Structure 1
Amino acid sequence: MKEYNPMDTLRDELVNFLYDINAIKLGNFTLSSGSISRFYIDLRLLQSYPVYFRKAISLLKMLVLQRIGLDGFDYICSIPTSGTIFGSSLSFELFKPHIYVRKDAKGYGTQKKLEGDLKPGSRVLFVEDVVTTGNSLLTAVKAITDQTRCNRVVVLIDREQGAPEKFREYDMTIDSAISINQVIEILRNYKRISNSDYLTIKDEKVGI
């Protein structure tokens, strides 16, 4: 008999709910990278559903505790904009200080790109909602790399299109709570998508 894993239960509930609210869509979509995809994930919708948003944060919390541990980092850093709601909520749950990196420095005031009080030499855990190629995430990491050390990354959903491999080149690890492979396995097992849709998305994931 398979051992009960609370993370598996949360994954199943969350993926099915995301599909119900169209936060996971099938079709033809142009991604921010310019590539065309048969599926689209918009986790910004979750903030409007407190019960399931809480489940998502619980899933990230379990991931951090299992893979990294509370002693493995000093700060949580969000990636605006959609990653900020997850990172700030996770920092509240874990009692860790929160910072975030702006995509562009402010054109007024102190013109800072980093928001928060980061002590030099700290270990930072970057939090993102969805990762595809990892380019925007890597830009944020590089923006404060001279102030940090031993950085890690956690994401809610990894589209499995090259980000973990790219980050390994910088001696950094990306841990994901849910992979796109798990998403389509869950949706097929619950008969939410057809086998042909399952194979199409799986081929896309492998092909990119």
Structure 2
Amino acid sequence: MIDYDLKPLDFSTTEVTEAERERLADLLFEIGAVKFGAFRLKLHETQPDAPLSPIYVNLRLLRSYPHALVYVAAILDKLSRPLTFDLIADIPSAATPIVAVLTMFNGRPMISPRKEAKNYGLGVMIDGAFEPGQRVLLVDDLVSKGDSKFEVLNLLEQTGLVVEDLLMVIDRQQGGSELLQAKGYNVHFAATISQLLSRYLQTGAIDQNRYEQVCDYLGLR
């Protein structure tokens, strides 16, 4: 097995340190998971005249960069250690490889909700072994407005599983965390979009004009 460099991760604490967060930001930028420019988003399917986004976060790329994927999973492992759960569930498909690696850190079984039931075999909506009453840690790549999480939450809970905690890599600070918390869920994340932007400004990855443009677009000022 490859011995991946996890520096500067400090497993003596369950908090994400500034150095760890900076390394996370740098890795995401290096692999192209965070880009700056002018991008169409999913919202443009229904709102074609909406302003183009000056930032695009695509954590699906992590599956192609094992060193970055392992680092992200290790950070989430730190954050998950104080939490009580029996299983880990991904929100497919961006979080699927992250959770697959995360289970290797903590040894908890993984289950995967399906977008639609199979029309053959058992026709299940959740892949994996589980029992009603088990506690599930739900993991996704990021949280924006939060509404997309409820379809999976409802599926898990209707199956008899218990979800109290959600774990994300990035909080885009667009109200999703607050919405989930208002519904009674605990939300945990490795970094906010503001923290990533501050790091990119510090390192020169973006200039002041781009920093302000993105902050204005996301409503961070």
Is TM > 0.5 for Structure 1 vs Structure 2? yes
Tell me if 1:29 matches 2:39: yes
Tell me if 1:143 matches 2:155: yes
Deviates more, 1:134-143 or 1:4-13: 4-13
The aligned residue for residue 98 of structure 1 is 110
**1:22 is matched by which residue type in structure 2?**
G
Structure 2: distance between partners of 1:80 and 1:178: 20
The aligned residue for residue 25 of structure 2 is 15
**Which whole-Å deviations, capped at 9, do the CAs of 1:62-94 have from their partners, x for residues lacking one?**
1112xx33xx11110011111111112112211
The aligned residue for residue 194 of structure 1 is 207
4+ residue segments displaced more than 6 Å: none
**Which whole-Å deviations, capped at 9, do the CAs of 1:16-66 have from their partners, x for residues lacking one?**
22212221111222222446422111112222222222111111111112x
* Structure 2 spans left out of the alignment, 5+ residues: 1-9, 45-49
Structure 1: distance between partners of 2:27 and 2:101: 20
Structure 2: distance between partners of 1:107 and 1:33: 30
Change (3 A) 1:107 1:162: farther
Kindly tell me the number of residue pairs found equivalent between the two proteins.
201
Structure 1: distance between partners of 2:100 and 2:111: 8
The aligned residue for residue 80 of structure 1 is 92
Tell me if 1:184 matches 2:197: yes
Q: Is the 8 A contact 1:159 1:179 kept in 2?
A: yes
* Structure 1 spans left out of the alignment, 5+ residues: none
- Structure with greater helix share of residues: 1
User: 1:33-52 residue pairs with structure 2 within 5 A?
Assistant: 33-34=43-44, 36-52=52-68
Tell me if 1:173 matches 2:186: yes
Q: Is the 8 A contact 2:62 2:69 kept in 1?
A: yes
Query: Identity, % of aligned pairs?
Result: 29
Q: Is the 8 A contact 2:29 2:35 kept in 1?
A: yes
Structure 2: distance between partners of 1:33 and 1:154: 24
Q: Is the 8 A contact 1:10 1:55 kept in 2?
A: no
Once superposed, what is the RMSD of the aligned Cα atoms?
2.1
Q: Is the 8 A contact 2:173 2:193 kept in 1?
A: yes
TM-score scaled to structure 1, two decimals? 0.88
